[in-house]
Structure 1
């Protein structure tokens, strides 16, 4: 599709878009997990049966919580709510109890959360459910399934044959920010936002409906896991395998081989760990491999090129943009950048006082969110331009280079020092991307840098000499380098700098 002909309709319901594909490809296996493989026909029937059942359970409720792992059942519930013109609120089960309760309060009124007994037990989330039940009614999928009658099954089968006759209202999906700096914010994405991003991806990347197979281990509460890993497959006719956790480093390469996956997306941290256990044979079917969420480090990129014959492409996104903003491709890529903007997006750079390189990246486009839900305040619409909070620069060819998060700067002796740059220098000095910089208050110089690492015996003096030899500012030298056994991660796979910052302050 040419960018000149890429148009996003004003009215979109993702259930209706899925039905169009199901009618065209009823026998194609479109979604699979560890226990089930569903053709479009079976998926559509399951969605219709579930929508009828949920219409009884949560009838009249505008927002419905989903608290489920990355399995086909969650996608069925998601599309059942789309059909019922309700708003799914995808709760992040890795957040911790208080943050989850904050999320529920943020989207109030929300009366019901759908979960699974088996999931709650396996994930040891009983206490979270106890606290949740003080706020909402908890409905278990096992009970929903067992109460489905023969008549409802027949209704679902009949409904699958006449689906699409009704034009449904455009609805919304609510995801949540991580809540590491304040209470989590609800991000409102319309069906049109998500559909636009799917169309942008198809225009930007050469996906083949017959050939490509997506492996998605990212949870649906993560915007990439939801849009590209769950909705794009069934709306765009690209088969997906859902795996319940990205942390199973030994198992995921085996799934790639078994499924013959061709498209795989993960963070730098996840890629680094998969490489420890994967073989070249296991990954040989992969043709589109994308790193997002955090910077792709040189050692990880080189490992995949040399060990597996794979070129990892770097991309960039945000929950607020449904999520994909830019992406390197096989045809158009530039090392050290996150690629060019996807079609129909615009960007501009806003100068930031004290930051000499690049500026604040602002964006607009059809995939940019409707707005935020703020705890205790309610809905705040997104302005004309979405402020990413990322310091970036755009070269003459349109390639975007992310320099740092605006919040990932330390102000030392009145100078703005990029914590990302400190990590890059440590990688260059010691040859491994296992360094994580945070800043904490310092009475003498305003702030100071603490560098955490999983590498044993890293001397500050060696790093200091390295920075001096490069003739760089001595402000990049951390006050301390601390060893940790394991890097704390967010559910998305990004390093949890908030936990590291708390640890640094605690040890002061």
Structure 2
């Protein structure tokens, strides 16, 4: 009776201070015995859970929490016990309690988070569920990590006296351990981690937010002034004028309104700008007023640019005179004008903005006004595929796609206000736009936008100058940075992620040995906004692309001639609205039943790590046998890993008798058929891996993200061979 009164009073108190409780199942489905597994963000966690959780559970608290004065005071009527995650007698005692038809609460991390995300997971929670055959009930606490004095995230997350808090409890589920892995401690803790990660995504992601309203929410949370005086600066570019959330939102309101008055509703507007604050403000401004930014790859050439604009039925292009001049794109912009497109320059647009427009923007900022109430399924951006294996396709991403993917990524790694991310990956690709910019901005980290990933020396110096903590890139770029960098250039880096192409052992080794950087590999596609899978500090397996993002489903479709694995097909909130194709301009072609075929042949191991074997289009059919061109390329790179500037590309071209033949294009004359034949023989590779022809060239064509442009390479080979 007394416990019920105390819990009622605590609930009333917490509800007064913005604590919301969400139970995602019917109370009649609450098991008699079960294990609540919760993240741990503050000293208040057990008190809040005591107030709200149904079933009057036992609280198994680690020593620091068990001895806390406030916990003991407010939980006098609760059933609590001191519990050590490595203490076998404590585990046995808890097993007895659960087996006697009791619910219990346990914090698998064994300590409070210092970054707001999941920490190390002890296997004791999994052992408890396994030994008692009790279901686990995932709990996620979001918000208390921002509570002053009661959390351990000081200096990393903004602190508030009474932050909004949301507690989400998901339905009970059995812990499924594979029999062959049941005795592996890492497997047990990994299963608990994956359940908690899924729960984290469900709790952190708000499906009602658009790209712009998520910016407003992040600004409210992270724009708190330092000492009540100075707003934190969250974005900077090579102009070296750092901007705050306030600056970004004011510019977004001004630019958005300017082009809104000159455009139709939901009109796609081309955005031809480099990585810059102005480009991001224009991106947000278009979305604020219901226009759709079309991210133009200005390095794609006039033909592809014009074709892309016509495909999406865009009539306008927004760019900058300074950028056009510095990038030498005068002929490109003239060709765009000659095709009938209206070209607006930001320099001229800014001059036309009236004082009233600026005052209005300020008033909109003060009330956090949303000019256009977009649906989350409205288009938020149109990007184009890289075109490395065919003509670029227009990919339409919705607000749901982009915002959900940001929070999927956040379950892998959390950024905070102490982080600085150096983003040189172009924002006309989703890798640079979503992962390199929006992901960091929404979490309150500072973003430095650099216009080109090819300035290796400058980027290394910027890392050193900015004390950057996070960096994204490709294998090719990271390898180039490592070759010319001083070890101290990378000294501040805590996270380095590579995507767009596979990470080679040579790149990983040079970064680790020379610079002390652990390079993580992730995988994504423009069609998935972009993240699909990734490694992180908790689970990392070299040679794989990590594990699938939470909230996504996947299946493997069998391919004739390939025995192991299949084509990766995925579904989730981040999967695109659809394609717009050049032969049917303006018409959206959505993925069938929401499933997107990636075109990648993969294998998935027993604990969820995904290994890419190759692209479907990157297999050669030689005499009826399927040969992976990626496997041939990897073999050649391994044979020549002592060559610093060695690069090669592998393509399949028609053969009169065998159907197809393998052609290797390399930059080093020492690569010969004889040396490869010897390497294959000595290292046990299949004879089918031996190419038919080797061509030596000074340069191999690449895309804007640094990966080999296989389409251009194949055209060059076919032309040279006269096929």
TM value normalised by structure 2: 0.68
Q: Are 1:197 and 2:405 counterparts?
A: yes
Q: Is this contact kept in 1: 2:408–2:550, CA < 8 A?
A: yes
| 1:244 corresponds to which of 441, 448, 451 | 451
Deviation at 1:485, TM superposition (A): 2.1
* Equivalent residue, structure 2, for 1:443: 656
Q: What secondary structure does 1:276 align onto?
A: helix
Q: Is this contact kept in 1: 2:388–2:708, CA < 8 A?
A: no
Q: Are 1:466 and 2:679 counterparts?
A: yes
Q: Are 1:115 and 2:319 counterparts?
A: yes
**Partner Cα distance (1:234, 1:82) in 2:** 16
Q: Are 1:186 and 2:390 counterparts?
A: no
Q: Is this contact kept in 1: 2:288–2:370, CA < 8 A?
A: no
Summarize deviations over 1:389-439 as a string: whole Å, max 9, x none.
000000001000001011111111121111101111112222256221111
**Partner Cα distance (1:58, 1:380) in 2:** 25
Deviation at 1:477, TM superposition (A): 0.7
* Equivalent residue, structure 1, for 2:259: 54
Q: Mark the runs of 5 or more structure 1 residues left unpaired by the alignment.
A: none
* Equivalent residue, structure 1, for 2:543: 336
Q: Are 1:495 and 2:708 counterparts?
A: yes
| 2:290 corresponds to which of 81, 85, 90 | 85
* Equivalent residue, structure 2, for 1:11: 208
| 2:418 corresponds to which of 189, 211, 233 | 211
* Equivalent residue, structure 1, for 2:592: 383
**Partner Cα distance (1:412, 1:124) in 2:** 45
Q: What secondary structure does 1:241 align onto?
A: strand
Q: Which has the larger radius of gyration?
A: 2
Q: Are 1:311 and 2:506 counterparts?
A: no
| 1:174 corresponds to which of 382, 393, 401 | 382
Q: Are 1:278 and 2:485 counterparts?
A: yes
Summarize deviations over 1:164-210 as a string: whole Å, max 9, x none.
366721332111113355432111110111100111111122x2312
Q: Are 1:67 and 2:272 counterparts?
A: yes
| 2:689 corresponds to which of 476, 492, 498 | 476
Deviation at 1:61, TM superposition (A): 5.5
**Partner Cα distance (2:389, 2:510) in 1:** 34
Q: Are 1:141 and 2:346 counterparts?
A: yes
Structure with larger RCO (C-alpha < 8 A, sep 6+): 1
Query: How many residues get paired?
Result: 506
Deviation at 1:15, TM superposition (A): 1.0
Summarize the alignment of residues 321-332 of structure 1 with structure 2, pairs less than 5 Å apart: 321-332=528-539
Q: Is this contact kept in 2: 1:16–1:164, CA < 8 A?
A: no
Change (3 A) 1:180 1:21: closer
| 1:94 corresponds to which of 278, 288, 299 | 299
Summarize deviations over 1:436-461 as a string: whole Å, max 9, x none.
11111122322111112223422220
Deviation at 1:470, TM superposition (A): 3.0
Change (3 A) 1:165 1:62: closer
Summarize deviations over 1:479-499 as a string: whole Å, max 9, x none.
222222223211122111112
Please identify, of 471-480 and 357-366, the stretch whose mean Cα deviation from structure 2 is larger: 471-480
Q: Mark the runs of 5 or more structure 2 residues left unpaired by the alignment.
A: 1-139, 141-195, 224-230
Q: Is this contact kept in 1: 2:290–2:372, CA < 8 A?
A: no
**Partner Cα distance (1:62, 1:28) in 2:** 34
**Partner Cα distance (1:304, 1:312) in 2:** 7
Please, what is the CA RMSD of the aligned residues? Answer: 1.6
Change (3 A) 1:181 1:299: closer
TM value normalised by structure 1: 0.96
* Equivalent residue, structure 1, for 2:717: 504
